[in-house]
């Protein structure tokens, strides 16, 4: 559901989160929902401002109970340093708000201040966990990408997100069993699992965007570090491209059964073959 635009960027609220907010409203917790939404928007605005400063364009942001998922016009997986700066901005903003409210006596509603401190503290700390789609997961992926490649790093951090979601649901079921409290954590856990699943499910699409955008970066930058691979004729192209790393360019030396060089394939050629023939394409 679209709730508005900021700097031309659409802000949407997840339908399940909206239903949870309506339920909170019926239970007389309207102030709490307003505080949560305000904290989430400020958290996402921090991401947005840093992204605009670094020249990265967002198309829209979907608000979830634990943060937001952004759709980008520019793919940041190419430059891990950018993704780290953009990702870390949200938790730093939330923690700063919590610290400021704790230290400074601002003229706000007396019941709102403790809840603002609590929500922003939880929002900041929770998002630092190294699991997609959380901000800490994006930082962790950016650190892993130069070592093992973007695809493997995304798969690992998305799986960590699913594991975290299952742990959260398990914890909420335990709370329900001992105290009849914790249903909201089930909703958060389910939404987190769905978001992590979506990150992994869209991995192929995101990976192709990553590869194609790297060609544009090479054209504008003029050079990239080279990474050489030796491949037998008939190897799956996707297995080679899965090793692609940010700011490096793959050159594949294709050899025959006698280990004689047949030809050299560039990363651009491999991408074209993969797009033309699909995931079964071979050299």
Question: Which residues are identified as catalytic?
Answer: 44
Rounded to whole angstroms, what are the CA distances from 198 to 2, 154, 204, 225?
Answer: 20, 11, 11, 32
Number of CB atoms found within 10 A of residue 171's CB: 14
Q: Give the whole-angstrom CA distance, residue 131 versus residue 163.
A: 9
Number of CB atoms found within 10 A of residue 8's CB: 9
Rounded to whole angstroms, what are the CA distances from 254 to 65, 216, 225, 259?
Answer: 50, 25, 20, 9
Can you read off the two tokens belonging to residue 272?
A: 């074209």
Strand order through the sheet with 9-13? 2-6, 9-13, 58-64, 67-72
Instruction: Determine contact, residues 233/138, Cβ cutoff 8 Å.
Output: no
Instruction: Determine contact, residues 69/44, Cβ cutoff 8 Å.
Output: no
Residues 129, 132, 133: CA angle, nearest 5 degrees: 105
> Which residues is 265 bridged to in the sheet?
252
Can you read off the two tokens belonging to residue 274?
A: 């993969």
Helix then strand then coil, in percent of the chain rounded to 5, is: 60, 15, 20
């Amino acid at each position: 559901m679209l709730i508005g635009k900021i700097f031309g960027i659409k802000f949407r609220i997840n339908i399940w989160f909206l239903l949870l907010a309506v339920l909170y409203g019926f239970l007389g917790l309207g102030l709490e929902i307003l505080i949560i939404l305000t904290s989430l928007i400020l958290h996402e605005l921090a991401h947005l401002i840093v992204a605009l400063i670094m020249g990265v364009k967002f198309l829209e942001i979907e608000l979830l109970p634990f943060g937001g998922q952004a759709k980008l016009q520019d793919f940041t997986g190419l430059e891990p340093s950018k993704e780290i700066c953009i990702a870390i901005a949200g938790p730093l903003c939330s923690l700063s708000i919590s610290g400021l409210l704790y230290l400074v006596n601002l003229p706000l509603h007396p019941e709102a201040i403790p809840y603002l401190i609590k929500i922003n503290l939880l929002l900041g700390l929770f998002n630092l966990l190294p699991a997609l789609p959380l901000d800490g997961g994006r930082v962790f992926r950016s650190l892993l990408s130069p070592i093992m490649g973007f695809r493997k790093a995304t798969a690992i951090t998305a799986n960590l997100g699913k594991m975290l979601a299952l742990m959260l649901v398990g914890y909420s079921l335990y709370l329900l069993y001992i105290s009849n409290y914790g249903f909201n954590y089930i909703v958060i856990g389910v939404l987190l699992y769905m978001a992590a699943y979506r990150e992994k499910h869209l991995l192929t699409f995101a990976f192709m965007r990553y590869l194609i955008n790297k060609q544009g970066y090479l054209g504008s930058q003029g050079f990239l570090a080279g990474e050489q691979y030796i491949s037998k004729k008939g190897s799956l192209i996707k297995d080679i491209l899965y090793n692609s790393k940010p700011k490096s360019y793959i050159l594949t030396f294709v050899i025959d059964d006698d280990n004689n060089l047949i030809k050299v394939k560039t990363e651009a050629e491999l991408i074209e073959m993969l797009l033309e023939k699909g995931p079964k394409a071979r050299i």
